[in-house]
Chains A and B, each alone.
Chain A
């Protein structure tokens, strides 16, 4: 079955710096890769996603890249702010003929003011 590995488990950056979180997946049939942000005591919130026919997607300070050949994808946050502090989860999903999402272990991001 699908396995998603996520690194690092913890990331601490200074406000204004960039943060990068990397994930790898095992099932080449995966075609949908969402990223979720979870603040303490709250639900996971979808912040950006990418589908397998796209190599890169950007939304303001957040960007995601996908390398299907290498089976890895990354989240990039630029100009980090203290409110970016949260746990971030990557996920890989097979979205055709069903929908099954496997999540990475999560990255706890601390942005120091």
Chain B
């Protein structure tokens, strides 16, 4: 399975500021995603990070608020812009790794716990 790391692991930020979260994988993966998990809730897909092109956002999430980069097959960043207390959440990087459609498996990074004051 892929080994996924995220930085920072947690942060406390002031409203109106921005935070960039990094996700690094130890091997090339086919797909990378960003999820949000609010306290006591399930995982909600923010966007699919596409290598070398704009991310694909889910309903309710926009590029101006959550710009995403994926410059290569092992690295991606998510920025939470102009933060408000409602953005307080855990942000998780996720990857799909495998040999093809019959073996592709999805794994999660350790998450970044964001608190906005």
Interface of A toward B, CB cutoff 8 Å:
32, 34, 36, 42-46, 49, 51, 89, 93, 95-96, 99-106
With a cutoff of 8 Å between Cβ atoms, the chain A residues found around residue B99 in the complex are none
Majority DSSP secondary structure for residues of A touching B: strand
Interface positions of B (Cβ within 8 A of A): 1, 30-31, 33, 41-45, 48, 92, 96, 101-102, 104-111
Q: Given A101-B45, A105-B42, do A95 and B104 touch, yes or no (CB 8 Å)?
A: yes
B43 touches which of A51, A89, A96 (Cβ 8 Å): A89
Taking the closest CB of chain A, its distance from the CB of B30, in whole angstroms, is: 8
Docked-complex contact A103 and B42, CB < 8 angstroms: yes
**Are the CB atoms of A99 and B96 closer together than 8 Å?**
yes
From residue A102, how far is it (CB to closest CB) to chain B in Å? Answer: 8
Bound form: Cα–Cα A102–B33 in Å: 12
Q: Known A95-B101, A99-B31, A99-B96; judge A46-B106 contact (CB<8 A).
A: yes
Q: Contact at A49–B105, with CB atoms within 8 Å?
A: yes
Which of these, A43, A99, A104, contacts B92 with CB under 8 Å?
A43
Cβ-closest chain B residue relative to A4:
B42
